[in-house]
Structure 1
């Protein structure tokens, strides 16, 4: 592990340690939500989800998707 990464890990651990224990469940939820929103799904998983949404009718008209976008 690189020195920079280790120091970031140490800083994160210190922040958690300085947070009152009663807030840890909320902090854990926050960290998980953050990770889930910043990481990309693998291409195959994204394709499967898109295909499943398409096949189940979860689609929008292309004109609706362009509403409010100034393409000029």
Structure 2
């Protein structure tokens, strides 16, 4: 596990530790709902990407990097 993720896992764990037990089921539902709302299945993401290509909703990579200091 990388350092950044490890930090967030520790912070989430601390929050769970200080949450009263009777609220843990609700907290679990919130976390699961967040994950399901944010993460799309890979096939869904691929279909959306292909649809964007077919419809011409693309931009050159060089344009995407403009203004980014990497």
Shared fold (TM-score, shorter chain, > 0.5): yes
Residue segments in structure 2 that go unaligned for 5+ positions in a row = 48-70
- Write out per-residue CA displacement over residues 15-69 of structure 1, whole angstroms, 9 at most, x where no aligned residue: 010110100000001111110000012226x86xxxxxxxxxxxxxxxxxxxxxx
Distance 1:41 1:3 in 2: 26
Larger Rg: 1
Q: Identify the residue that residue 19 of structure 2 maps to in structure 1.
A: 19
Q: Structure 1 segments of 4 or more deviating over 2 A?
A: none
Which position in structure 1 is the counterpart of 2:3?
Answer: 3
How far is 1:6 from its partner? 0.7
**1:38 counterpart residue number:** 38
